[in-house]
């Protein structure tokens, strides 16, 4: 692909634009709040407005693929345009698809979301490791080969997640710790950050999982509408927040549909995070 590693590009983007990822989550209620119909036309208007307002302002945009996929091929076509337009405006794009499978199927998902030439390939994709971290190898390998990244689910904010993520592996480590350690092994020696990140909810509190050696970005959803504040980041991640990438959706998108209002909402979030993270 001829570009720097994702971890390095992400570090540069957050240094320049601030440590914020904004989700593009065009669910029916939000379309309605913007005065849009719950149709492909409404989806496209919403998504293109969000890109216009935010892609030249925030470091990372995170379209949630499910809200596009629910409209079938026409919705996926809108997602493809969102990815291309956001990247053209300078934002990194994290496609929130949470894919996970084994063997050739995982390889096909990797081709779709990480392969050069795929219209669904952003700069990174979210993946699920709960078929075993090793099942993600096709995605990890392709991401590293193309200068893209993966964000691996590790400690999610939904209450059901704890039953799996805090379960004990055969060596008595928590499953989430196993995931963190596997990511750290891939990222070893990378500077300033590796390209295998983790998803760790900003609302999960103290976890008993050591994230200090991951050496990759830590995506922290949950700011704003889900209840987390910037102060909660220190509870989850400790004093060193340099690798943390907070993400919010409704806290910014709720300011729409005006482009200026959306941009101002994002800048307020960035200013608040810079005061805590730097």
Between CA 242 and CA 214, with CA 120 as vertex, the angle to 5 degrees is 25
Structure tokens at 128: 């699920």
Give per-residue burial for 240-255: e unless 16+ CB within 10 Å, then b.
ebebbbbbbbbbbbbb
62 is catalytic: no
Selecting among 48, 81, 98, 234, the annotated active-site residue is 98
Number of helices (H), then strands (E), in the chain? 12, 8
DSSP, res 25: -
**Stretch (H or E) spanning 162:** helix 162-165
What distance in Å separates the CA atoms of residue 162 and residue 24, rounded to the nearest whole number?
26
**Stretch (H or E) spanning 24:** strand 21-24
Structure tokens at 241: 């927040």
What distance in Å separates the CA atoms of residue 113 and residue 124, rounded to the nearest whole number?
8
Closest by alpha carbon to 141, among 98, 109, 97, 119? Answer: 109
What HEC string does 88-115 produce?
HCCCEEEEEEEECCCHHHHHHHHHHHHC
Residue found by looking up tokens 């989550």 in the block: 25
Q: Give 247's strand partners.
A: 21, 221
CB 117 within 8 A of CB 85: no
Structure tokens at 42: 């409404």
The catalytic site residues sit at 98
């Amino acid at each position: 692909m001829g570009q720097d590693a994702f971890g390095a590009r992400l570090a540069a983007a957050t240094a320049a634009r601030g440590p914020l990822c904004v989700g593009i989550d065009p669910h029916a209620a939000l379309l309605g709040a913007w005065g849009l119909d719950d149709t492909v036309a409404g989806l496209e208007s919403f998504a293109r407005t969000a890109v216009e307002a935010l892609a030249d302002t925030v470091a990372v945009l995170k379209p949630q693929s499910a809200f596009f996929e629910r409209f079938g091929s026409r919705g996926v076509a809108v997602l493809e345009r969102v990815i291309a337009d956001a990247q053209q405006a300078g934002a990194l794009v994290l496609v929130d698809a949470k894919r996970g499978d084994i063997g050739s199927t995982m390889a096909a998902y990797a081709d779709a979301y990480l392969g050069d030439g795929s219209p669904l390939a952003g700069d990174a994709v979210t993946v699920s490791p709960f078929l075993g971290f090793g099942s993600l190898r096709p995605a990890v390998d392709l991401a590293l080969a193309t200068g893209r990244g993966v964000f691996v689910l590790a400690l999610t904010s939904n209450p059901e997640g704890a039953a799996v993520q805090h379960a004990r592996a055969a060596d008595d480590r928590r499953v989430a710790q196993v995931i963190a350690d596997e990511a750290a092994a891939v990222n070893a020696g990378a500077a300033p950050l590796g390209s295998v990140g983790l998803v760790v909810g900003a609302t999960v509190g103290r976890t008993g999982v050591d994230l200090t050696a991951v050496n990759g970005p830590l995506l922290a959803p949950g700011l704003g509408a889900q209840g987390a504040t910037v102060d909660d980041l220190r509870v989850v991640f400790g004093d060193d927040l340099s690798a943390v990438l907070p993400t919010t959706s409704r806290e910014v998108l709720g300011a729409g549909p005006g482009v200026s209002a959306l941009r101002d909402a994002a800048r307020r979030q960035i200013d608040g995070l810079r005061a805590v993270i730097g």
